[in-house]
């Protein structure tokens, strides 16, 4: 079982910063992990690729040091277990409404006695039946991590109880859906966002959990860290490519014909 850099850093109260990869070329995962990002966010909630494709991308990332954080859709508990078996260290669970749902996430991602995750061992996380049964189960429970995403304003009423659930490592505000459901679409610097972060911070601090949200820029990441966030993200391959193509178009449009 690979050691988790995220668990290590969070235990030392060090900030962890990940990136989001949308494109499905394994070389991008390989490169990002070799460069040494803390974690790679893999999204199976909003993208159409399969667990089989995800497995290949995780395999490419294993040449480096990055953790993989995989997000299934809400309620896809069986998929969470498969993503862990494929090599993910972290699960990002979206649209969590209450503590009962958070406990269900832990139940599916942790072996007994912490949860009731089903045992296989024949996949890359063990890896491939090469570890002692008991040692693997103990290491898997110690090295995997769960991020619970708060996206509905109504869920803020339950965030303290959610943060109290053993096996929850990080409480994350999902700013896009939260802004939509709060009637402030796309206004990520709106006071309602700051108020939500303050509620999440209070609950996380009270129960000894990390908290955070997406950064979007180094300046925003620094702002979050200054507030006490230990978990954030900054950067996305799709945006980098889009920005590069747009800049290239501007550069070419500025060319002039010889007179």
User: Diameter of the chain by CA atoms?
Assistant: 78
Residue 113 DSSP label: T
pLDDT, tens digit, for every residue of 82-119?
Answer: 999 999 999 999 999 999 999 999 999 999 999 999 99
Q: What is the pLDDT of residue 8?
A: 97
197 close to 171: Cβ distance less than 8 angstroms: no
Domains of the chain: 5-253 (3.20.20.60)
pLDDT, tens digit, for every residue of 163-206?
Answer: 999 999 999 999 999 999 999 999 998 999 999 999 999 999 99
Q: What is the pLDDT of residue 257?
A: 80
Pairing of strands 210-214, 39-43: unpaired
Identify the sign of the CA torsion 224, 225, 229, 231: positive
* 36 pLDDT higher than 80: yes
Question: Residues 6 or more apart from 138 whose CB is under 8 A from it?
Answer: none
SS3 250: helix
What is the percent of the chain with per-residue pLDDT over 90, rounded to a whole number? Answer: 97
């Amino acid at each position: 079982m690979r050691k988790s850099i995220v668990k290590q850093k969070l235990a030392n109260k060090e900030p962890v910063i990940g990136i989001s990869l949308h494109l499905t070329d394994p070389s991008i995962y390989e490169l990002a992990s070799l460069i040494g990002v803390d974690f790679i966010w893999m999204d199976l909630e909003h993208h159409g690729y399969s667990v089989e494709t995800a497995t290949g991308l995780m395999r490419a990332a294993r040449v480096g040091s990055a953790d993989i954080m995989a997000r299934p859709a809400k309620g896809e508990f069986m998929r969470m277990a498969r993503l862990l078996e494929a090599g993910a260290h972290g699960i990002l669970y979206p649209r969590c409404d209450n503590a009962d749902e958070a406990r269900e996430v832990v139940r599916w991602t942790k072996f007994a006695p912490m949860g009731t995750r089903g045992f296989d061992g024949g996949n890359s996380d063990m890896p491939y039946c090469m570890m002692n049964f008991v040692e693997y189960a103990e290491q898997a429970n110690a090295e995997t991590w769960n991020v619970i995403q708060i996206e509905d304003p109504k869920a803020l009423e339950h965030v303290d109880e959610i943060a109290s659930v053993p096996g929850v490592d990080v409480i994350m505000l999902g700013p896009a859906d939260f802004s939509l459901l709060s009637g402030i679409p796309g206004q990520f610097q709106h006071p309602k966002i700051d108020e939500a972060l303050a509620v999440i911070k209070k609950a996380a601090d009270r129960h000894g959990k990390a908290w955070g949200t997406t950064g979007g820029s180094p300046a925003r990441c620094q702002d979050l860290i200054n507030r006490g966030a230990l978990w954030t993200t900054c950067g996305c391959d799709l945006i980098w490519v889009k920005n590069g193509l747009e800049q290239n178009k501007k550069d070419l449009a500025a060319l002039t014909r010889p007179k």
